[in-house]
Amino acid sequence: MFIRSDQAGPIYQQLYRRMREAILKGELARGTRLPATRALAVEAGVSRNTVLLAYDQLRAEGYVEGHVGDGTFVARELPDDVPRPAPRPADPAGTADAPALGISAYARRATIVEAPTMVPAPRSIRFDFRYGLPGIAEFPRDTWRRLLSRHARRFSADITGYAEPAGLPALRQAIVDYLRRARAVDCDVDRVVIVNGSQQALDLVARTLVDPGDAVVIEEPHYLGAREVFRAAGARLVPCPVDAEGLDIERAPKAAAEARLAYVTPSHQFPTGAVMPLARRLALLAWARNARAYVVEDDYDSEYRYGGRPVEAVQALDTAGQVIYVGTMSKTLFPSLRIGFLVVPPALVQPFRAIKNLSDRHTSTLQQLVLADFIAEGHFERHIRRVRTQNARRREALLKALDEVFGDRVSVQGSNAGLHLILWFRDRPAADAPAIVAAAAAAGVGVYPLGPYYLGTPQNAGLLLGYASLSEHEIEAGIRLLGRSLAS
C-alpha cells in the first residue's frame, strides 16, 4: 500500500494515521488482511519496528485485530461505530472557552471568594504599606543557613521519607516549650498539629467542625482569609461587632446561640488592633460552654507589643477543652516558610490528624527540622526581641509622619501592637477609599482599603497600613508622597 508522509511526528505515527484514515474511508475494508510487518516495512521503506509500533497502536484502539498464525486484519466493528452520547449542556460554572463538566458545591463557593492573593506589588510601587510583610533586614540569615546546611548534608531517610501528619516531635516539643513560656498556653506535644501556615489551620478547622448551613461567629471587621474559608465551607456567618475592647459576645446576634464555633483575634484584633480584656475573655468562654461551641483563637502576631508584655492567651483560661489555638511563623520569620501550628483540645486530636493526613500527608520535613533547632537553641526568641525593637522605631516614624502630613484630618487606631495600624479619614466617606488607593498608587505608594474586611460598610474611608517591611526613611517618604497625592 502507498504510505503518504505528512511530516508530523515520528514515522510510526505517520504510518498509523495513514492506515487509520484508509480504514475509516473504506480503502481497507473490514475484515481485510493487512500486509505482514516485514513486507510493509520493505514497501514503505521503513524499519520493521516502525511497522510493529503502528500496528500495536491500531490494535490498542480497536481498528485492527490479530489472529495467531493468520496475521493482522481490519476489525469488523470499528471503535467509531460505537454510539456517542449526546453532548451535555455546558455547566454554568464553566467558561466559554473551557466549560466545566461539573464541580462540587464547595468548589462553586470557593471560586467566588474575595480573599486577595498576596502577589508582589507592581514595580511602579516604590513604598508598599502592605500588611503581613515582616522585615527581612533583621532576620539572622547566616544562622538559618547554617542550620539548614546541617540537616541538608545528612540527607537521610528522616528527611526524604514520609513523616507524621501532626508534625515532627522535635518541632512540636519546641513549640510547646515556647508557648508555655511566652503565652501561658496549656498544651503538650500530642495536642500540637503542624500545618502549612495559619490559612491551612483555618481550613482544617472548617473541615473538622463546620457543615454547610452551620452558624459561625466572626468579628466585624475581621480577617478576610478566615471569613472566606468558612464561607467556602458553607457556613452561615454571624458578625459580632468589635469596639475598643474587641469582640463583645454579649452583643452578638441571637443566631450566635446556634453557632458551632466563634473565630476571634483577642490579643490583637484584626484589623482594629483592640485587645480583649479578661472580663470579655471569660464571657466568651462562658458562651462557648452554654452554646456547646468551640472558640478558634488566632494569635497571629501577639509577640509584637510596644507597651507591656504580651497578653495571656484565651486558651490558657479554658478549663472545658473548647479553645483551638492557632499560631503562625509568617509574621515572626517569613511568609514563604509556610509553617503554622494548632493546639487542639484532647477530643479533637485524632480528627485533626486524620484530616491533615488526607489534606497533604505532612508539612515539609527539612523546614521543620531547621525550625525546631532555631527555636530550641534560642535563636527564635532573640530574633523576636530584635525585631520588636526595630518595629517600635518604624511605628514611631509612621505615627510622626502621619501627624505631620495629615494632622487632625485623620485618626489612628491599633498602633500599640502588631505590624500595622488603621488610618481613618475623618472627612472622607467610605466610598472615597478606592479613589484614595488609586491616587496613592499613581504616586508610587501602595496602600490598602479597609472595606474588604467588613461584611457591611464602614462609616469613613480607612486604610490598613503595614510598616514592618519598610525602613524609617521609606515610611517617612511614603507618607509624604501619600499626602501630596491626596492634596492634588
Task: Report residue 439's pLDDT band, with 50, 70 and 90 as the boundaries.
Answer: very high
Residues 293-322 pLDDT 10s: 999 999 998 888 887 666 789 999 999 999
pLDDT at 352 > cutoff 90: yes
DSSP conformation class of 305: B
H or E stretch at 21? helix 11-25
User: What is the C-alpha to C-alpha distance for residues 315 and 385, in angstroms, rounded to an integer?
Assistant: 24
Q: Of the CATH numbers 3.40.50.2300, 3.10.580.10, 3.90.1150.10, 3.10.690.10, which one belongs to the domain with range 127-133+389-487?
A: 3.90.1150.10
Mean pLDDT of the chain: 89
- Give the three cell numbers for residue 267: 490579643
User: What is the C-alpha to C-alpha distance for residues 279 and 162, in angstroms, rounded to an integer?
Assistant: 45
pLDDT at 74 > cutoff 60: yes
> For the structural domain made of 11-81, what CATH number should be given?
1.10.10.10
pLDDT at 310: 66
Lowest mean pLDDT among 63-72, 197-206, 347-356: 63-72
pLDDT at 45: 83
| Between residues 383 and 66, the one the model is more confident about | 383
Answer whether 127-133+389-487 and 141-382 agree in fold. Answer: no
pLDDT at 326: 97
Q: Which CATH class for the 141-382 domain?
A: alpha beta
Q: What angle do CA 419, 425, 431 make, to 5 degrees?
A: 105
pLDDT at 60: 83
Mean pLDDT (whole number) for 195-203: 95
Task: Report residue 86's pLDDT band, with 50, 70 and 90 as the boundaries.
Answer: low
| Between residues 136 and 319, the one the model is more confident about | 319
pLDDT at 71 > cutoff 80: yes
DSSP 408-472: GGEEEES-SBSSEEEEEEEEEEGGGHHHHHHHHHHTTEE-EESGGG-SS--SEEEEEEE-TTS-H
pLDDT at 145 > cutoff 70: yes
- Domain-wise residue ranges, the chain: 11-81, 127-133+389-487, 141-382
pLDDT at 88: 54
Mean pLDDT (whole number) for 263-280: 94
Lowest mean pLDDT among 18-32, 238-252, 260-274: 18-32
